[in-house]
Structure formats: structure tokens, C-alpha cells
Amino acid sequence: MVRRNDQRRGALVDAAIEVLAREGARGLTFRAVDAEATVPAGTASNYFASRDDLFTQAGARVYERLQPDEATIARLQTTDRDRETYVELMRELVGRIASFRTGYLALLELRLEATRRPELRKVLTERVRADVDANVAYHEASGFPGDAMAVKLLILTLNWLIVEQLTLPDVFTEAEREQLVTAAVERIVAAE
């Protein structure tokens, strides 16, 4: 039996994310992952039972990498709880997610592929539902204005803004994107 190294497995999954972003789901092969990770041919096939397994693990890993860091979470504990601060947090969120361009593009590929792969759909559905629930719970406990519906509407709105920014970056200028985030928060989140 081959001894599997968790660090190498992580590097292979990260390489799969890069391949997905660049080549799409059809380009995600063990050979492409090996090349991206600069490991000997056949390495990925020793770590993943199938392409489905590779897709599923890439789907889980993307969400791990999209989470805010500890400094951001700590800063959130000390911010004001008004709409202006909410706008700034949403701008930062859009910027943070958009800065992991390959991860978000890979996630889009994974979402499309999930329509054909039940196990991947299950993993992504659980992960996205948990993310929505965690955001709603955090929001309700935080004292920020707005309710659970506002959080869900902002998630949907800002996700598409991020897609637009990453796939067709010249549709809106940076200033327009900031105005859109501000307008989304101001129109969706009721004033207290």
C-alpha cells in the first residue's frame, strides 16, 4: 500500500483548483494535476481513487481557502454595527474572494460539474448550505442591521458581482463595483 502524505495531497488538490480555473472541468485529469503540482506522473492517481474523488476534494478545498483569515475575524469583533460598516465589510468580502481568482473560477467549474456528478453536488450543497447558515447565524448574533433574508439576498447579489468581475472584468469599473456594493447593502438591508 502506498503511504500517503497529507501535505502532498493538499498540494495536489490545490493544483487541481488551478487546473480547473485554467482548463475547465474537461481539462482536470490526473496527468494535468501532476504537471501543475510538478510531481512525477502517476502521483495524483495514487492519492485519488477517481476523477470524481478529485472533483469532490477540490470542491471542499476551495471553500476552505475562501474563508476569512483570523485577523479579519478578530477585526469584525470590534467594528461598529451600522450600515456604513456593513458596506465596508461587503466591499472587503468581494475583494477578498475576487483576489482568489483561480479558486472562484474553479468553484464555478465545480458548480457546473455538480449538475452531472451527484457526489460533488452533495458536497457542494452541504458546504454552501453550511456557509449560508453560518453567515445568517453570525449576522443575527452580531447586531448588524438587517435580517436573515437580507443576508441571503446579499450573498446572491454579491456572488454574481464577483462572477462578473472575474469573467468580464471590463463590464464595470472598480468605482462602479464599489457603488454597486454600497447600493446593494443600502437597498437590501433595512435601516434601523
pLDDT digits (tens, 9 = 90+) for 127-139: 999 999 999 999 9
pLDDT one-digit tens code per residue, 19-30? 999 999 999 999
Q: Taking 80 as the threshold, does the pLDDT of residue 122 lie above it? A: yes
Q: What average pLDDT does this structure show over 6-32?
A: 96
pLDDT band (50, 70, 90) for residue 1 = very low
What cell numbers appear for 132 in the block?
449560508
Residue 125's alpha-carbon distances to 76, 82, 118, 119, 154, in angstroms, are 27, 31, 10, 10, 18
pLDDT band (50, 70, 90) for residue 72 = confident
The reported pLDDT for the residue numbered 100 is 92
The reported pLDDT for the residue numbered 4 is 60
Average pLDDT, the chain: 92
- Count other Cβ atoms within 10 Å, centred on residue 116: 10
Q: What average pLDDT does this structure show over 149-164?
A: 96
The reported pLDDT for the residue numbered 154 is 96
Within 8 A by CB and 6+ apart from 24, the residues are 109
pLDDT band (50, 70, 90) for residue 2 = very low
48 DSSP 8-state letter:
-
Question: What domains appear along the chain, each with residue ranges and CATH number?
Answer: 6-59 (1.10.10.60), 62-188 (1.10.357.10)
pLDDT band (50, 70, 90) for residue 182 = very high
Instruction: Write out the E strands in 35-97.
Output: none
Q: What average pLDDT does this structure show over 56-71?
A: 87
The reported pLDDT for the residue numbered 126 is 93
- Lowest mean pLDDT across 71-80, 103-112, 145-154: 71-80
116 DSSP 8-state letter:
T
Question: What is d(CA 186, CA 191) in angstroms, rounded to the nearest whole number?
Answer: 8
Q: Taking 90 as the threshold, does the pLDDT of residue 70 lie above it? A: no
Q: Do the beta carbons of residue 64 and residue 127 sit within 8 Å?
A: no
The reported pLDDT for the residue numbered 69 is 82
